[in-house]
Amino acid sequence: MRQLEDISYKHEGGRWTLPLLLAAFIAIMVLAFMVGRYPVDPITLVKILLSKILPIEADWAPQAESVVFRIRGPRILTGALIGAGLALAGLSYQSVFQNPMVSPDVLGATSGAAMGSALGLLWGWSYTETTILSFALGLAAVGLTLLIAHHVPSQPVLGMVLSGMMIGSLMNSCLSFVKLVADTEDVLPQITYYLIGSLNSVREGDLLACAIVVGLCSVLTYCLRWPLNVLSQGDEEAHSLGIPVKAIRLTSIISATLMSAMATAVAGTIGWVGLVVPHLTRMIVGCDHRRSIPASILIGSGFLVFVDTLSRSLTTSEIPIGILTSFIGAPFFIYLVIREGRRT
């Protein structure tokens, strides 16, 4: 496989790049809280947010506070965490496998999590039970992938990729069987809608779970920024510098898998974020993980929140977010492919 540096982007960005990305992210978050079927003007939004920490007299409608804190708040914050998790997972996978074409579903986490949610819906489990089952099967799928790859010690990276493809295909086949036997009047539409991907059913408990998983995994990934920089140059280079390649690779994979499985368990299958955002990140700040990790978090969060805002604002009936991410991500990825083809 070609090394990531060979077909990636050399631009390192200026010292103001990350502050500008942070400012753009904050602007998108504010816009997301304001826009919707019940619009909230900027002044009222600021007053509502500050009312929790300052003694501000409530001169706004009670519905506005309910919209901000109970309806849009959990959805927007959870969407930001899911976007950050998918983007960071994609960045980690691409660095570990030294391949910029890798996405978070390469080891079967997405397929396993989707299978878990479909089973939960088929069996009539509660929302919480279905989410837990989805998360567990996502981790189990990757566990099987790593177990199979362990028996291919001569080519560990290739073994993991091929094992992931096999497990993903197996999970997709099981998912197809679940859809075949599901009730076409009730359960099948639920499974189909879930597989498209949406933040419509996000709850406050999802926000807490995503905050814990994505927060801890983001900190862990950032702590590995220097080993990941070395690992992206190849295993031989990493070994020569005393990097424990297997341990770093396994830790990064586990961290990325946890974020991918959690995102799929909560919001369904949301494609392209983990594949396109790392490319965009390297275009802006370069390949140094000291900058690309925080940049990918900001870009992934802002992108998914922006797309979700479009999904609930463009039409009277909400458009599943997975459809819009594909509409935006696929053309952009085609542009990247054409751009790289002209440079080689």
Residue 13 has a pLDDT of 58
- Give the C-alpha separation, 178 to 171, whole Å: 10
DSSP string, 259-277: HHHHHHHHH----SHHHHH
Give the residue extent of every domain in the chain.
4-30+73-343
Per-residue confidence at 245, pLDDT binned at 50, 70, 90?
A: confident
pLDDT, position 304: 96
Separation between Cα atoms, residue 96 and residue 233, nearest integer Å: 10
Taking CA atoms, 215 is separated from 230, 258, 280, in Å, by: 24, 11, 22
- In b/e form, how buried is each residue of 135-147, taking b as 16+ CB within 10 angstroms? bebbbbbbbbbbe
Cα(1)–Cα(232) distance, integer angstroms: 11
How many Cα atoms occupy the beta-carbon half-sphere of 138 within 13 Å? 31
What one-character DSSP code corresponds to residue 69? I
Planar angle of CA 183, 188, 190, nearest 5 degrees:
125
Is residue 11 over pLDDT 60? no
Write down the architecture of domain 4-30+73-343 according to CATH.
Orthogonal Bundle (1.10)
pLDDT tens digits for range 262-308: 999 999 989 889 989 998 998 899 889 999 999 999 999 999 999 99
Instruction: Say which residues have a Cβ less than 8 Å from residue 292's Cβ, sequence separation at least 6.
Output: 91, 278, 281, 282, 285, 286
